[in-house]
Amino acid sequence: MSAFAPNDRVLISPRHLAGGGIDRLSDVIGPLIHLFDWQQRHDAATGHIVLDSPDRSVQLDVNSAESGGAWWHITHHDPYWAVEFTRQTPIEAVAAVARSLPQLLGDQRHADGIPLTSRTLTEIAVLNNWTVSPDGSTFASRDEHCTLRHMPEAEVAWSAQHSVHDESDTQWNVSFTRDAPEVLVAQFFTHLSTHTPVERTYRDIPRLVRDMDEALITPVRGAAVNPRVHHVAAQIGRIHSARRR
């Protein structure tokens, strides 16, 4: 029996197991609207949202009514490139890409508060204990449930896949077409692979993940210390136990 009720707020790591966190939709679209003056079109009946950059060169399309396929679409018109995320992609990684878009278009407002990573993909992987293939084209999480692959000659040059035992509620996919700026891939990977936990309602964590040894889930309320400090302490304790074994 779980120690958590369905509505309990919890912290979970690693992030790739956390599920979408779609209740934090405003973390993606809010900064673009309120800080960078992107225009919003919203269909209240379906929940479909479209944001356009001020110069109309980039569009963010959010279609949460889509039963399958991608929920998030980012398209740049000239030159054409696209980024897509399916439903269960952790929203923190989606938001990291979306918040980077204004700087790519030359809008440097709030750049101090939305830093772009200067690390390479390999550096990000090593920092967060992901494995790197000998040719540097594939990065894998320690539990091997999540991979990021680079195929520079393909139309989809970068792709990320995640699944746990082929269960549909744990599967998600991300794609970056060939001309997508690599800094967007780096932003996505930085905010996906970090050890920092993310907050979810317990019921929103994919069902199969909740009892996995690889997933660390700790309470937001009721901890004797700050919830994030408590989670970090649990992470350290888990590492030490694994080393002893």
Q: Quick one: which of 93, 99, 128 has its CA closest to 112? A: 99
- The arithmetic mean of pLDDT across residues 72-99, rounded, is 97
Between residues 224 and 222, the one the model is more confident about: 222
At residue 3, the pLDDT reads 86
pLDDT at 113 over 70: yes
Q: Quick one: which of 92, 103, 97, 91 has its CA closest to 74? A: 97
When pLDDT is cut at 50, 70 and 90, the band that residue 67 belongs to is low
In order of 115, 197, 231, the CA distances from 224 in angstroms are 33, 18, 11
At residue 110, the pLDDT reads 96
Gap between the Cα atoms of 169 and 19, Å rounded:
8
Contact call for residues 22 and 85 (beta carbons, < 8 A): no
Contact call for residues 17 and 164 (beta carbons, < 8 A): yes
Beta-strand pair 70-77/39-43:
unpaired
At residue 143, the pLDDT reads 95
Residue 124, SS3 per DSSP: helix
When pLDDT is cut at 50, 70 and 90, the band that residue 222 belongs to is low
pLDDT at 52 over 60: yes
At residue 245, the pLDDT reads 52
DSSP 128-170: TT-EE-TTS-EEE-TTSSEEEEE-TTSSEEEEEEE-STT-GGG
Gap between the Cα atoms of 114 and 240, Å rounded:
34
pLDDT at 185 over 60: yes
When pLDDT is cut at 50, 70 and 90, the band that residue 228 belongs to is confident
Q: Tokens 């400090």 belong to which residue?
A: 229
Q: Quick one: which of 176, 149, 151 has its CA closest to 82? A: 176
